[in-house]
């Protein structure tokens, strides 16, 4: 698993052995950032169900200002710390241990500025994604230009709107469906 673009392009990230988590593949990650374009430069990012941290680290490599990584697994948080250290991104990152099936982090945990980009990559087919999208829609920490990148299994159905979120793009790559939502009607 390598960073596919930006200043740290080509750096190999550490990953788990076996099938404990399903990290976003290099190909899918590259496709996500192709869909986003230059949109990551200077943004504040929230990486939910962060796993290895690959999506958030990719965003930092491509110019994001800061990333908050959220995962419930101590092993994942340890791995994310290791990957951040390999890339030199510790000072622009925050790690939070949180069970996202019980709700999103508190606004204070995310800093004082709004979040511009959210990655939501929960385990597939567990029913976690729609409640997270609903809660994001009603949250007070999204900036007016926020974009949410939701990753799901290709058979999973996601609605065109979730509260204040509107589906802007959907693409399927192998077994993965990428759905990009905009907050409050802006375009990506």
User: Does a structural domain hold residue 140?
Assistant: yes
Structure confidence by residue, pLDDT tens digits, 138-181:
988 899 889 999 999 999 999 999 999 999 999 999 889 999 99
pLDDT of residue 113: 76
Q: Tally Cβ neighbours within 10 Å of residue 87.
A: 19
Q: Is residue 143 part of a domain?
A: yes
CATH number of the domain residue 146 falls in: 3.40.50.150
Confidence tier at 105 by pLDDT (50, 70, 90) = confident
In a domain, 20, yes or no: no
**Structural domain includes residue 139:** yes
In this predicted structure, the answer to whether residue 60 has a pLDDT above a threshold of 90 is yes
**The pLDDT of residue 187:** 54
Q: Is residue 38 part of a domain?
A: yes
pLDDT higher than threshold 90 for residue 58: yes
> Which residues have CB under 8 Å from 49's CB, separation 6+?
70, 71, 100, 120, 121, 122, 123, 128
Query: Position of tokens 């019980």?
Result: 102
**What pLDDT shows up at residue 107?**
75
pLDDT value of position 23:
64
Query: Do the beta carbons of residue 150 and residue 169 sit within 8 Å?
Result: no
Average pLDDT over residues 27-34: 86
Please enumerate in sequence order all residues whose Cβ is within 8 A of that of 13, keeping only pairs 6 or more positions apart, or say none: 1, 2, 3, 52, 53, 54, 57, 83, 86
Could you list the residue range(s) of the whole structural domain that residue 135 is in? 27-99+107-173
Asked, for residue 137, whether it belongs to a domain, the answer is yes
Total domains, the chain: 1
Exposed, middle or buried, 10 (CB in 10 Å: 0-12/13-18/19+)? exposed
Whether residue 61 is predicted with pLDDT greater than 90 in this model: the reply is: yes
Q: What is the pLDDT of residue 14?
A: 84
Residue 20: which pLDDT band, with cuts at 50, 70 and 90? Answer: low
Query: Does 127 score more than 80 pLDDT?
Result: yes
Residue 4 clears pLDDT 80, i.e. is over it? yes
Q: Is residue 112 assigned to a domain?
A: yes
Classify residue 77: in a domain, yes or no. yes
């Amino acid at each position: 698993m390598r960073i596919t673009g930006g200043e740290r392009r080509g750096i190999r990230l550490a990953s788990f052995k076996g099938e404990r988590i399903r990290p976003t593949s290099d190909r899918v990650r590259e496709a996500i950032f192709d869909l986003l374009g230059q949109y990551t430069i200077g943004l504040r990012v929230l990486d939910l169900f962060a796993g290895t941290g690959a999506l958030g680290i990719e965003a930092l490599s491509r110019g994001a200002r800061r990333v908050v990584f959220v995962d419930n697994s101590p092993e994942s948080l340890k791995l994310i710390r290791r990957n951040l250290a390999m890339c030199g991104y510790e000072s622009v990152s925050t790690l939070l241990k949180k069970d996202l099936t019980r709700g999103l982090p508190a606004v204070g945990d995310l800093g004082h500025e709004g979040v511009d980009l959210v990655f939501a990559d929960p385990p597939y087919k567990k029913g976690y994604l729609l409640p997270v999208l609903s809660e994001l829609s009603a949250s007070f920490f999204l900036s007016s230009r926020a974009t949410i990148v939701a990753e799901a299994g290709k058979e999973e159905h996601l609605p065109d709107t979730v509260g204040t979120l509107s589906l802007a793009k959907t693409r399927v790559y192998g077994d993965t469906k990428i759905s990009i939502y905009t907050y409050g009607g802006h375009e990506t």
